Amino acid sequence: MAEIKVPELAESITEGTIAQWVKKVGDRVEKGEFIVELETDKVNAEIISEEAGVLTQILAEEGDTVLVGQTIAIVEPVEGGAEPTPAPQAEPAKEAVKEEQPQAPQAQPAQAAPVVEETSNERVVASPAARKLAREKGIDLAAISPVDPQGRVRVQDVAAHAAKPAQPVQAAQPVAPAVTVDESRVTVERMSRRRQTIAKRLLEVKQNTAMLTTFNEIDMTNVMELRKRKQEQFVNENGIKLGFMSFFTKAVVAALKKYPYVNAQIVGDEIHKFNIYDIGIAVSTEEGLVVPVVRDADRKNFAEIEREIAELAQKAREKKLAISDLQGGTFTITNGGIFGSLASTPIINGTQAGILGMHSIVNRPVAVNGQVEIRPMMYVALSYDHRIIDGKDSVGFLKTVKELIENPEDLLLNS
């Protein structure tokens, strides 16, 4: 008998949701075969069977939340050509559990401490020792303010929280009546785990950074003419089209080298300035925005950047991104212009210090050498953490990007 367990995917991932079983009880399973899809807050992972045999039990249904290390299925090997019989008690047992669940609250004392890991609606990254201590003391991990700048709750944080004086008990408030939904007027849709995490992370960034946005506009005439002139040759030599993203990635790398505080993050009371240029490229998928990373963008040429962005975007839309594809970015570029956005204030990605927002290219009248001309113009925005980056550096960074895009030959010479 082989147990199918939820594997460890990354340190920050402690649980996931069963998205889809691709095998059902009684199906033959080969060693290494994909049998269930697990949705986490970062990627969808394909869980395989380590043994060949027959799937005899499924212990977690689609939509269930499961923890890393939890057994979710049983595969029994085939011996002597006879296939094992699926366990007939699996389904009745599950139904029995469901029937007993409504009685569980009656068996609990009125003052029983909550089981935090099951009842808290917040997903908290915490060490096993911290979770154990929190359970023992009846503390909700979501109520703890960790010292770790990455947000990980440790034993010391739980102990410090437990040592705080108890808050006075307030008079019970009237319970609000349950909200009834008229299904003919409202469609109720459960948020996916990834959407919940995106919402939580964006809110954390807004609350924990001194975010500010500065704007500029770029005349796209020269880079559009260069692309048109070199497109056929570029495709013939590299097998991929020359887009705008490679130009902006190259311009961003050059600007980051000139303004290193934009390529940094705060860790405790320190500023860590990166000497690498791993550029996150925001990609829209059906389940939300993900930001795969183009690593060592300063060492890649235009074709390599275009090819890697295309491959990462394809993987994102096919739900095949690995955890490693999403980790370690130092700066992010997002392009709302592909959806028609004229201007926006993008939100910083995670612990990074800045994000560049690209927008629609629109023909507008502008003054050129004292004359009014119609030019293809793009607004660009830099959202940045004002705790690290001063206004002078933010404006200088964006001005450098503008100058390099308006003079793309300089990028080609320096690449």
Q: How far is CA 12 from the centre of its chain?
A: 12
- For residue 255, CA distances in Å to 178, 242, 336 come to 54, 21, 21
Tokens describing residue 325? 């594809």
Q: Answer with the one of 76, 92, 111 that is the final residue of a domain.
A: 76
Q: Residue 286: what pLDDT?
A: 82
Structural domain contains residue 96: no
Least confident of 10-14, 76-80, 109-113, 122-126: 109-113
Which of 76, 97, 118 is a domain's end point? Answer: 76
Residues 225 and 361 in one domain: yes
Round to whole Å and give the CA distance between 28 and 159. Answer: 50
Residue 159 lies in a domain: no
- How many degrees, rounded to 5, is the angle at CA 392 between CA 390 and CA 395? 110
CA–CA dist 362, 128 (Å, integer): 53
| Band of residue 217 on the pLDDT scale cut at 50, 70, 90 | very high
pLDDT for position 165: 65
Of 235, 237, 277, which Cα lies nearest the Cα of 258? 277
Would you say residue 334 lies in a domain?
A: yes
Q: What is the residue range of 69's domain?
A: 2-76
Q: Which pLDDT belongs to residue 159?
A: 76
Tally the domains of the chain. Answer: 2
Mean pLDDT for 263-291 is: 92
Residues 360 and 216 in one domain: yes
Q: How far apart are CA 24 and CA 11, in angstroms?
A: 30
Q: Are residues 207 and 67 in the same domain?
A: no
* Strands, E assignment, 369-415: 371-385
CATH of the domain at 312: 3.30.559.10
Rounded to whole angstroms, what are the CA distances from 63 to 4, 19, 38? 17, 6, 10
pTM: 0.64
Is 100 among the domain residues?
no
Among residues 48, 76, 104, the one where a domain terminates is 76
Q: Which residues are catalytic?
A: 386, 390
With respect to residue 65, please indicate whether it lies within any of the assigned structural domains.
yes
How far apart are the C-alpha atoms of 56 and 23, rounded to whole Å?
A: 11
3-state secondary structure of 156: helix
Judged against a pLDDT cut of 90, whether residue 158 lies above it is answered with: no
Q: Contact 333/252 with Cβ under 8 angstroms? A: yes
Q: Has residue 117 been placed in a domain? A: no
- Asked, for residue 251, whether it belongs to a domain, the answer is yes
Q: pLDDT tens for residues 41-80?
A: 777 788 888 888 999 989 988 888 888 888 999 998 876 5
Residues facing residue 108 across a β-bridge: none
379 falls within a domain: yes
Write out pLDDT tens, residues 250-265. Answer: 999 999 999 999 999 9
The CATH number for 20's domain is 2.40.50.100
Question: Could you tell me which residue, 281 or 142, shows the higher pLDDT?
Answer: 281
Residues with Cβ < 8 Å from 364, sequence gap 6 or more? 374, 375, 377
